[in-house]
Amino acid sequence: MKRATLILLSAFCLLLSACGTSSAAGPEKTVEAYLNALNEKDSTRLSTLSCADWEATALMELDSFMAVSTTLEGLSCAQTGTDGEKALIQCQGKIVASYNGELQSFDLSTRTYTVENSTGEWLVCGAQ
C-alpha cells in the first residue's frame, strides 16, 4: 500500500512540475505575456519576462504608459524566424492608450521581439 501511494505521489509531482514549465509554451506566448504585463502595468511580471539586459528598457516602456489607460486589442504573436539561438517573434494587434479622452493606437506589428531561452525560460531580450 505504501509503495503504491509513493508511486502515485511521485507521478503526481512529475505531472505538476511539467505543467509549471513556461518554456514549453514557446517564445510567442512569452511575448504575449510580456505585452499583457505591459498593458496591465505589472512591473514585477514585466521584469520576470525580460532578460537582464532588456529589463531597464522594458520598465522605461512601462513608465511611458503609467499615466494613461490602456487596452490590448487583437493580440496574436507568432515566431517568424531565428537569429542563432534567439527566436524572432512578431505580433498582430495594438495597444490603445487613452489620455483625457484622446485615443492613440500603437500597432504591435511594427516590432520584432527577440526572445531567448538561455536559462530554461523564454525571456524577451530586445525589440527592433
Average pLDDT over residues 40-68: 96
Question: Does 31 have pLDDT greater than 50?
Answer: yes
Average pLDDT over residues 89-94: 98
Domain residue limits, the chain = 24-127
Average pLDDT over residues 61-86: 96
The pTM score is: 0.80
The span from the CA of 94 to the CA of 37, in Å, is 14
Q: Which of 2-11, 59-68, 97-106 has the lowest mean pLDDT?
A: 2-11
The span from the CA of 26 to the CA of 82, in Å, is 13
The span from the CA of 85 to the CA of 117, in Å, is 8
Question: Does 124 have pLDDT greater than 50?
Answer: yes
What nine digits make up the cell of 116?
Answer: 531567448
Backbone torsion region of residue 100, taken as left when φ is above 0, otherwise alpha when ψ lies between -120 and 50, otherwise beta:
left
In the CATH hierarchy, which fold is given to the domain comprising 24-127? Nuclear Transport Factor 2; Chain: A, (3.10.450)
The span from the CA of 64 to the CA of 95, in Å, is 13
